Structure 1
Amino acid sequence: MQVVSEREGSGHIARENWSNKRDYVLSMIGYAVGLGNIWRFPYLTYKNGGGAFLIPYFTMLLVTGLPLFFLESSFGQFCSQGPINVWRAVPILQVYCNINGTLTEMVQTCNPADKVKMDVQSPSEYYWDNVALQRSSGLEETGPVVWHLALCLLLSTLLAGASLIKGIKSSGKVVYFTATFPYVVILILLIRGVTLEGASEGIEFYIGSQSNLTKLSDAQVWKDAATQIFYSLSIGLGGLMALSSYNEFHNNVFTDTLVVSITNAATSIFAGFAIFSIMGHMAHVYKLPVTEVVKEGFGLAFIAYPGALTKLPISPLWSVLFFFMILIVGLDSLFAEIEVILTSLQDAYPKVLKSRRPLLTIATCSFLYLLGLPCVTRAGIYWVTLIDSFVATWVVLFLVLLEIVGVSYLYGVNRFINDIEMMIGKKSPHFWLWWKACWLFFTPFILLVILVWSLWTFAPPTYGDIHFPSWGLSLGWCMLVFVLMWLPIGAVYHLTKAKGSLLNRLTSVCAPSEDWRPYLERHRKESHPEDQGVHRANNPNEADDNSDYQL
Structure 2
Amino acid sequence: MIISWTDTFTSLLSGAIVFSIIGHLGVVTGETDYTKVVHPGAGLTFITYPEALAKFEHVPNLFAVLFFFMLFVLGIGSNTGIITSVVTAIRDQFPGLKNWKIVLVISALGFSTGFLFITPASSRVIEYVDYYGVTFVTLTLAVAELACFCWIYGVQRICRDIDFMLGLKTSILWRVCWKYVTPIVIAIILLLTFATGNPPERIATGFHVLGWFIYAAAILPLPILAIRAILAQPSDLSLWNRIKRAARPLSSWGPENLALKKKYDDFIDDSQRDDGAKSSSIFFRREKSYSVNL
TM-score (ref. length: structure 1) = 0.43
Q: 1:322 to 1:435 in 2, by over 3 A?
A: closer
Q: 1:416 to 1:315 in 2, by over 3 A?
A: closer
**What does residue range 294-309 of structure 1 map to in structure 2 within 5 Å?**
294=38, 298-309=42-53
Shift of residue 511 of structure 1? 0.3
| Paired amino acid for 1:359 | K
| Equivalent residue, structure 2, for 1:370 | 112
Matched, 1:315 2:50: no
| Paired amino acid for 2:123 | I
2:268 to 509, 525, 528: 528
Alignment: residue pair count: 270
Structure with higher RCO (Cα < 8 A, 6+ apart)? 1
Shift of residue 522 of structure 1? 4.6
| Equivalent residue, structure 2, for 1:382 | 124
Q: Distance in 1 between matches of 2:203 and 2:158?
A: 45
| Equivalent residue, structure 1, for 2:279 | none
Shift of residue 439 of structure 1? 3.2
| Equivalent residue, structure 2, for 1:442 | 181
TM-superposition CA deviations, 1:53-75 (whole Å, max 9, x none): xxxxxxxxxxxxxxxxxxxxxxx
**Residues 498 and 508 in structure 1, CA contact (< 8 A), matched pair in contact too:** yes
Q: Distance in 2 between matches of 1:506 and 1:535?
A: 12
Matched, 1:473 2:215: no
Q: Distance in 2 between matches of 1:445 and 1:359?
A: 38
Shift of residue 289 of structure 1? 4.3
| Equivalent residue, structure 2, for 1:454 | 193
| Paired amino acid for 2:269 | P
Structure with more of its chain in helix, by fraction: 2
Task: Determine what percentage of the aligned residue pairs are the same residue.
Answer: 28
| Equivalent residue, structure 2, for 1:217 | none
**What does residue range 534-545 of structure 1 map to in structure 2 within 5 Å?**
none
**Residues 282 and 308 in structure 1, CA contact (< 8 A), matched pair in contact too:** yes
Shift of residue 501 of structure 1? 3.3
TM-superposition CA deviations, 1:271-328 (whole Å, max 9, x none): 62x4455545544554544745345653332212211222334433322221122112
**Residues 159 and 169 in structure 2, CA contact (< 8 A), matched pair in contact too:** no
TM-score (ref. length: structure 2) = 0.76
TM-superposition CA deviations, 1:340-387 (whole Å, max 9, x none): 222222232122x13xx3333222211222333333322222222122
Q: Distance in 1 between matches of 2:67 and 2:134?
A: 26
**Residues 390 and 480 in structure 1, CA contact (< 8 A), matched pair in contact too:** yes
| Equivalent residue, structure 2, for 1:194 | none
Q: Distance in 2 between matches of 1:282 and 1:339?
A: 38
Matched, 1:511 2:256: no
What SS is found at the alignment partner of 1:393?
helix
Shift of residue 475 of structure 1? 0.7
TM-superposition CA deviations, 1:156-181 (whole Å, max 9, x none): xxxxxxxxxxxxxxxxxxxxxxxxxx
Q: Distance in 2 between matches of 1:333 and 1:453?
A: 24
Q: Distance in 2 between matches of 1:448 and 1:276?
A: 26
**What does residue range 177-192 of structure 1 map to in structure 2 within 5 Å?**
none
Gaps of 5+ in 2: 273-285
Q: 1:285 to 1:436 in 2, by over 3 A?
A: closer
Gaps of 5+ in 1: 1-23, 38-264, 542-551
**Residues 30 and 329 in structure 1, CA contact (< 8 A), matched pair in contact too:** no
**What does residue range 104-115 of structure 1 map to in structure 2 within 5 Å?**
none
Q: Distance in 2 between matches of 1:514 and 1:30?
A: 36
Q: Distance in 1 between matches of 2:231 and 2:248?
A: 15
Q: 1:403 to 1:281 in 2, by over 3 A?
A: closer
**What does residue range 94-109 of structure 1 map to in structure 2 within 5 Å?**
none
| Equivalent residue, structure 2, for 1:199 | none
